[in-house]
Amino acid sequence: MRIAVIAHSLYPIREPFAGGLEMITHSLCSTLQSNGHIVHLYAHKDSDDRFEVRPLSSNGLFPRSILLDIEAQNLGVDGESLSYISAINTISAENYDIVHNHSLHHIPILMGNLMDAPVITTIHTPPFTLLKIGAYGTKGNNRQIFTMVSRSLHETWKSIIPNAEIIYNGIDLNKWSFNEFPKGDYLFWYGRICPEKGTVEAIEAAIKSNCKLILAGPINNKEYFEDSVESLLENQNISYVGHLSQMEVGEYLSNAQLMLFTSLWEEPYGLTLAESLGCGTPVVAFEGGATQEILTHETGVVVPKHSIYGLVKAIHKARNLSRRKCRERAVAFCSSDSMIRGYTNLYESLLTPKESKIKLVS
């Protein structure tokens, strides 16, 4: 098949990944390409050059004078929207079998009905205004397919998008090595360092538990880091190792006693949960979002949001969980093979055999 994948334009689709969405988009494109499909990735210009990247940029589309006029007159048109409009026009002119939108932007949804090829939009986030505009704009006359990455996420969208396929995210388990006998004596936390990811809560729980904690991830909110996190790093049990590659994260994660998942928002999926299970590392997590869809009582301990006391108790309880059961859960529920199979089955269901230019290589 010839597939156009539309990503967001904020961060490159390459390592070190800015977040889970970038990793999932990269994994999807990589596997589809390996399976013999032709994939064109509409994304940030600095995305992985192993893909055929079509840069999302408004640069060169219009004379600079026009862009300055748009800004000066507050016309409500931004460069990102212009870049998506240009991309959709390009996609419409090409002979794609499938258009798969992961952009989190309203323009591909609003313009998706105008394309000849089947359009799939995967929703990765709870509703926010611009994305709701896209969904409302096509409601009642929708020719597109929507997919959601968890059942809990679909619940937040049901009033706007009542019908959606549930295709869970997945990880390449070959990149997350199972370790039944970890060498480390520490807990591990990783993700974007920002209030909604609960970095401070993880640190406070580790300090109260008298446990070593290693933190990793990009500083997404500098003010939060400087005001709330940095002073806590003076504790001898707490260390921050920076923004790591996937391989480096895997090394820390597989040798950790436990992984702390302290997200304070309703995580649509939570890839770090899947990655931890893949390494065999049990999880202590705040409840909410898709957490309870991924974790079982054999693989993690879930506590109420904001409860530091709950985390402390759970840390001691989770040490007794089976690392082998964690890996088994990852294989059964969290693999990229299952995710790719779900998407390719959906692609094929939208095509007749004669319409597909290139068939799946088994």
154-192 pLDDT tens trace: 999 999 999 999 999 999 999 999 999 999 999 999 999
Q: How confident is the model at residue 113 (pLDDT cuts 50, 70, 90)?
A: confident
Taking 70 as the threshold, does the pLDDT of residue 354 lie above it? no
Q: What is the pLDDT of residue 140?
A: 76
Q: What is the pLDDT of residue 358?
A: 41
Work out the pLDDT band at 356, boundaries 50, 70, 90: very low
At residue 142, the pLDDT reads 76
DSSP result, 84-104: HHHHHHHHHHS--SEEEE---
pLDDT at 247 > cutoff 90: yes
pLDDT at 251: 98
Is-contact 284 258, C-beta < 8 A? yes
Percent of the chain with pLDDT over 90: 85
Would you state the CATH architecture of domain 173-333?
3-Layer(aba) Sandwich (3.40)
Residue 360 has pLDDT above 60, yes or no: no
Domain residue spans in the chain?
Answer: 2-170+335-355, 173-333
pLDDT tens sequence across 310-339:
999 999 999 999 999 999 999 999 999 999
- Structural tokens at position 332: 């059964």
Q: What is the DSSP string of 32-58?
A: HHHTT-EEEEEE-TTS-TTSEEEE---
CATH of domain 2-170+335-355: 3.40.50.2000
- Residues 277-293 have a mean pLDDT of 98
2-170+335-355 and 173-333: same fold? yes
Q: What are phi and psi of 189, to 5 degrees?
A: -135, 135
pLDDT for the residue numbered 76:
65
Give residue-wise pLDDT tens across range 9-53: 999 999 988 888 999 999 999 999 999 999 999 999 999 999 999
Strand order in the sheet with 258-261: 238-240, 212-216, 186-190, 258-261, 283-286, 300-303
pLDDT score of 352: 65
> In this predicted structure, what is the pLDDT of residue 68?
77
Alpha helices in 238-357 (DSSP H): 246-254, 271-279, 291-294, 308-318, 323-333, 336-349
pLDDT surpasses 50 at 292: yes
Is 146 a residue whose pLDDT tops 60? yes
Could you tell me the pLDDT band of residue 86, with boundaries at 50, 70 and 90?
Answer: very high
Angle between helices 271-279 and 20-34 (to 10 degrees): 70
